[in-house]
Amino acid sequence: MSDQKKKKLKEVQEDYQAFAKDREIKRPVAKNCLMAFLFGGTVCLIGQCIQTFYMRFFEFTEKTASDPTVATLIFISALLTGLGVYDHIGQVAGAGTAVPVTGFANSITSAAIEHRTEGYVLGVGGNMFKLAGSVIVFGVVAAFVIAIVKTIVQGLGGLS
């Protein structure tokens, strides 16, 4: 909020805000960024190693090795979430565990585990896709918009 739009606080409220600000935990931003970079990079490195494994031992091409690589990363992430390991990694790694595939698998698996007592359909199925639904919708909409833009740009390029 800008200074002009702030409400005039009472003296007690100003004192409390100053008191709270003095005792607020200072976050180590540089350390958090470094840890996120290292762990996110490690997840990507593991993914690259898995892709190379599929290419070398199963004779996939670079393009065809991508799908089993993503499936393997999702499986590993879901397994680590189910075992409770992913949460401990996330406490150290911070945003580094939010690498799209593994972070998404973790969020869906966590929701499924949390609501399993409510049954498979209404508990697991219903709650698991509350988060996933919005991600899928925005992903589809973004892909649609990008496809429209690409089509328009290619159409304009063909006119000249």
Q: Highest-confidence range of 24-33, 58-67, 87-96, by mean pLDDT? A: 58-67
CA dihedral 65→68→70→73, nearest 10 degrees, is -120
How many domains are there within the chain?
2
In this structure, the answer to whether residues 131 and 79 fall within a common structural domain is no
In this structure, the answer to whether residues 27 and 54 fall within a common structural domain is yes
In this structure, the answer to whether residues 137 and 108 fall within a common structural domain is no
Residue pair 78/105 in contact (Cβ under 8 Å)? The answer is: yes
67-86 pLDDT per residue, tens: 999 999 999 999 999 999 99
Nearest alpha-carbon partner for 64 in 78, 77, 51: 51
In this structure, the answer to whether residues 36 and 103 fall within a common structural domain is yes
In this structure, the answer to whether residues 45 and 86 fall within a common structural domain is yes
Higher pLDDT, 153 or 3: 153
Q: Please give the pLDDT value at position 15.
A: 87
Does residue 137 register a pLDDT over 60?
Answer: yes
Average pLDDT, the chain: 87
In this structure, the answer to whether residues 112 and 136 fall within a common structural domain is no
Q: Please give the pLDDT value at position 83.
A: 96
In this structure, the answer to whether residues 107 and 151 fall within a common structural domain is no
Question: How would residue 130 be classed by pLDDT, with cut points 50, 70 and 90?
Answer: confident
Residue pair 105/131 in contact (Cβ under 8 Å)? The answer is: no
Distance CA 112, CA 136 (A): 17
Token code pair at residue 123: 């508990």
In this structure, the answer to whether residues 6 and 63 fall within a common structural domain is yes
1-31 pLDDT per residue, tens: 445 456 788 888 888 988 888 888 888 999 9
In this structure, the answer to whether residues 57 and 86 fall within a common structural domain is yes
In this structure, the answer to whether residues 99 and 131 fall within a common structural domain is no
Token code pair at residue 42: 């490690």
Q: Please give the pLDDT value at position 159.
A: 63
In this structure, the answer to whether residues 51 and 111 fall within a common structural domain is yes
Name the residue range of residue 147's domain: 121-159
The DSSP secondary structure of 19-49, one letter per residue, reads HHHHHSPPP-HHHHHHHHHHHHHHHHHHHHH
Residue pair 89/97 in contact (Cβ under 8 Å)? The answer is: yes
Token code pair at residue 34: 């470094």
Does residue 126 register a pLDDT over 90?
Answer: no
In this structure, the answer to whether residues 39 and 80 fall within a common structural domain is yes
Question: How would residue 125 be classed by pLDDT, with cut points 50, 70 and 90?
Answer: confident
Nearest alpha-carbon partner for 41 in 105, 91, 97: 97
